[in-house]
Amino acid sequence: MSSSIAGNLPGTLSADYLRRLHGRHLFLQPHLDDIPFSLGHLLERKLLNECNYEFWTVFGKEFFNIRQYEHDENTVSILKDEERRWFEAEGHQINRLDLEEAGYRGVTSVRRLFRTNLYQDAGLDYEGLGYGNWSVVVDAVRKIVQSGASFIWAPAGIGGHCDHLALRQAVIHAAKTEPGIKGLLFYHELPYSQYSRMINWEKFEIEDFQMEGCLEHHPTEKETRRKTESISIFYSQITDRQAYSLSTHLEKVAVWIRRIK
């Protein structure tokens, strides 16, 4: 029988639970807005003040204008500036890898971009994603992780975006070979979690890890106003109305902790 931080039965965890996860936290986002949209409230609550943490954008080679689905160098420059401004405003430094996002790999059709039939599978093999340079993603994640991360935050894969799934699976792969990783925290991506089917975490299996539960944070009116203003920096991506909609939605993180044998 294994023991763990929160017990053996998954449940709902409070935001203060994060204060118990001591160590170096590594936050990975597939694209430049995933963490601001999905974790803006939790990060603003300063729950990791006493922890060492680092932020990375993995698919940093952006391709398209999100509204027109075409390559636009001017828009790419705007996107990077929005990302930089958000992280600086929140007091964080963002690191970037230059891995090609889906558009650069020729994945632009909705059917190939969103693999909705695959994201419920924790054992998903990369061939199912049609991801040509999977080994590059695995190697990149491994190198970041080997710098000494205790906890890795990664996208849950809600909605099945192929880049999100590739990163999630690379993190799971790295956790199998890096015993220093104490926990995996999969954040539910916004806006996908507003309209996509949720993952049934109880059916997930990750070798050597057990699920502690899901951390859920429901924003107050004050927090909603704060996040709306904060993510409005991404004006090339969302309207003010969309920023408000994202800010009223709960933020959810599935927490998995390594079993103590």
Predicted local confidence at residue 46, as pLDDT: 63
Which own/partner contact pairs does 143-147 have at CB distance under 8 Å and 24+ positions apart?
Answer: 144/26, 144/28, 144/54, 144/56, 145/26, 145/171, 145/174, 145/178, 145/181, 146/178
Q: Where are the alpha helices (DSSP H) in the chain?
A: 34-44, 73-89, 110-113, 134-145, 162-177, 192-195, 221-231, 240-248
Residue 10 lies in a domain: no
- Give the CATH number for residue 228: 3.40.50.10320
Range of the domain at 101: 23-258
Predicted local confidence at residue 4, as pLDDT: 35
- Please give the Cα distance from 183 to 80 (Å, whole number): 30
Residue 120 lies in a domain: yes
Angle between helices 34-44 and 240-248 (to 10 degrees): 50
Predicted local confidence at residue 256, as pLDDT: 95
Residue 14 lies in a domain: no
Residue 17 lies in a domain: no
Residue 153 lies in a domain: yes
Per-residue pLDDT of the chain (261 residues; tens, 9 = 90+): 233 333 334 568 877 788 788 889 999 999 999 999 999 998 876 666 667 889 999 998 876 655 555 556 677 788 899 999 999 999 899 999 988 888 777 777 777 778 776 777 776 666 556 555 677 888 899 989 888 889 999 999 998 898 999 899 899 989 988 999 999 999 999 999 999 988 888 888 899 999 999 998 899 999 999 999 999 999 988 999 999 999 999 999 999 999 987
Predicted local confidence at residue 76, as pLDDT: 78
Residue 222 lies in a domain: yes
Residue 9 lies in a domain: no
- Please give the Cα distance from 102 to 115 (Å, whole number): 12
Residue 4 lies in a domain: no
Contact of 164 with 157, CB cutoff 8 Å:
yes
User: How many folded domains does the chain comprise?
Assistant: 1
pTM, entire model? 0.90
